[in-house]
Amino acid sequence: MASESQLTNEVIDEKDALKSSGNAPFYDELHVEYIANLATKLDAPTSYEGAVTEHLRMSGVYWSITALSLLRSPEDVDKLMGLTSKLPSEGEARAEQRPAIVDWVFACYDALTGGFGGNVGHDGHLLYTLSALQILAVAGMLEDPRLEREAVVKFVSGLQQADGSFAGDEWGEVDTRFSYCALSALSILGALPEKDEAEGVIDVKKAARYIASCRNFDGGFGCVPGAESHAGQIFCCVGALSIAQSLDLIDVDLLSWWLAERQCDSGGLNGRPEKQADVCYSWWILSALSIMGRVPWINAKKLGDFILKCQDNDDGGIADRPSDMPDVFHTFFGVAGLSLIGHLHGLNSAQSESYQKIDPVYALPTGVVQTLGLKAQIIGHKSGQDKHVLVDDRLLMYDVLEGAALVKK
């Protein structure tokens, strides 16, 4: 465990990050209003966006709740979103259509599989099972008797394949995203075995070895062995290995170099070479760099500028790139990116004092992670004559692997 915070300009220079805003403010009130009103817009009978995203509503709710939880207190989130109780409504019909979010989450439970679906009546899937557990964690409802813990653990563990990989559901698609979802879900449930535990619900060591088999010559990771390196998959693999206490399987400097190379002239980050910058990679890349202690390898000032330029200054929300339409996916990852570079936590506003930090491993507010006592591993790097290990203060509860210059075969 890290014993002291050594945040210096070598780790995250928050003052520089704050200067990145230039003349572009952070539109706090607009973003809160955008998120709070999104459900009403998507539920409208004529909403095209609501129709095409119906299958992934669980993840959409997670993005909304978590983004808002970084900007407002739990009490305000509950009032704005109806997290644990129904929102006040003008008519009884509306109240019947819009249950409390927690109630809706339990309505999405698939008793046949033991997992949660993307919406009511949908089959259970690892992606939406993790989103459901994350929502319940933010709501402080993981002890709700409606949560069939043993069944959910059985669903997740039953998807591990002989090679250590995980399928997303009974139909067998394998992807490193699912490895992250499985390890994170089991950790949140308090059911993740130790790395060397022989009789656990899953084989953590085999899971880590499978992820390592997806590592490429450039240091990155793909969705399966031999697949192209992609920043989204890299977060999943680094995050999974962090939860599995197996970051020694990463070539830290090579991977950090590849991720740093994703910064474009605009200041934004792309997911692969020769692609445009996109706000969502502010999360995928910064989270991985945070876990590896390499955030200084990118220009946080330029990245902050890029994210702020992607805000909608009329209706709120954040888009993938400047002048595009905002959506909740990029709004969440944009807010999370601003949190990871320290931008949100030193703004001279009344609201900024209550902003929560995002945890780069579990993609949850740090307060939620601390309350649950979740475990993970991060990489620290010694610096200066006293050779202190530099660690971001939001990660002090985790085990620290120093340096990790070598990769285990």
**Both structure tokens of 168:** 């997303």
pLDDT of residue 4: 39
Using 50, 70 and 90 to split pLDDT, how confident is the model at 394? confident
Q: Are 363 and 177 in contact (CB under 8 A)?
A: no
pLDDT band at 407 (very low <50, low <70, confident <90, very high): very low
Given this model, what pLDDT does residue 46 score? 82
89 has a pLDDT exceeding 60: no
pLDDT tens sequence across 244-290? 999 999 999 999 999 999 999 999 999 999 999 999 999 999 999 99
178-192 burial code (b ≥16 CB/10 A, e <16): bbbbbbbbbbbbebb
pLDDT in tens, 306-335: 999 999 999 999 999 999 999 999 999 999
* Residue 129: closest CA among 159, 100, 165: 159
Q: Is the pLDDT of residue 386 over 80?
A: no
* pLDDT, average across residues 388-403: 80
pLDDT at position 405, please? 44
pLDDT band at 7 (very low <50, low <70, confident <90, very high): very low
Could you read off the pLDDT of 198-233 as tens digits, one per residue? Answer: 889 999 999 999 999 999 999 999 999 999 999 999
> Does residue 40 surpass a pLDDT of 80?
yes
The full 3-state SS of the chain, as one line of letters, equals CCCCCCCCCCCCCHHHHHHCCCCCCCCHHHHHHHHHHHHHHHHCCCCHHHHHCHHHHHHHHHHHHHHHHHHCCHHHHHHHHCCCCCCCCCCHHHHHHCCCHHHHHHHCEECCCCEECCCCCCCCCHHHHHHHHHHHHHHCCCCCCCCCHHHHHHHHHCCECCCCCEECCCCCCECHHHHHHHHHHHHHCCCCCCCCCCCCCCCHHHHHHHHHHCECCCCCECCCCCCCCCHHHHHHHHHHHHHCCCHHHCCHHHHHHHHHCCECCCCCECCCCCCCCCCCHHHHHHHHHHHCCCHHHCCHHHHHHHHHHCECCCCCCECCCCCCCCEHHHHHHHHHHHHHCCCHHHCCCCHHHHCCCECCCCCCEHHHHHHHCCCCEEEEEEECCCCEEECCHHHCCCEEEECCCCCCC
Chain centroid, CA 183 distance in Å? 13
pTM attached to this predicted model: 0.90
- Asked whether residue 164 carries a pLDDT value surpassing 80, the answer given is yes
Is residue 139 predicted with pLDDT exceeding 90? yes
Give 88 or 59, the one with higher predicted confidence: 59
**Average pLDDT of the chain?**
89
Phi, psi angle pair for 233, to nearest 5°: -70, -30
Cβ atoms of 264 and 270 within 8 Å: the answer is: yes
Mean pLDDT of all residues in 389-398 = 80
- Tell me what pLDDT residue 114 has: 98
CA 310 to mean position of chain CA atoms: 20
| Residue 39 to residue 27: CA distance in whole angstroms | 20
- Asked whether the beta carbons of 244 and 208 are under 8 A apart, the reply is yes
pLDDT value of position 388: 54
Do 210 and 163 touch, CB atoms closer than 8 A? yes
pLDDT tens-digit series, residues 171-204: 999 999 999 999 999 999 999 999 888 889 999 9
Between 303 and 56, the higher pLDDT residue: 303
User: What does the pLDDT read at residue 117?
Assistant: 97
Q: Any idea which residue has 């089959």 for tokens?
A: 123
pLDDT at 350 over 70: no
CB–CB of 202/157 below 8 Å?
A: yes
Q: Which range has the worst mean pLDDT, 19-23, 245-249, 257-261, 349-353?
A: 19-23
Q: Would the pLDDT of 36 be above 70?
A: yes
Of 114 and 395, which is predicted with more confidence? 114
- Across the range 111-138, mean pLDDT stands at 97
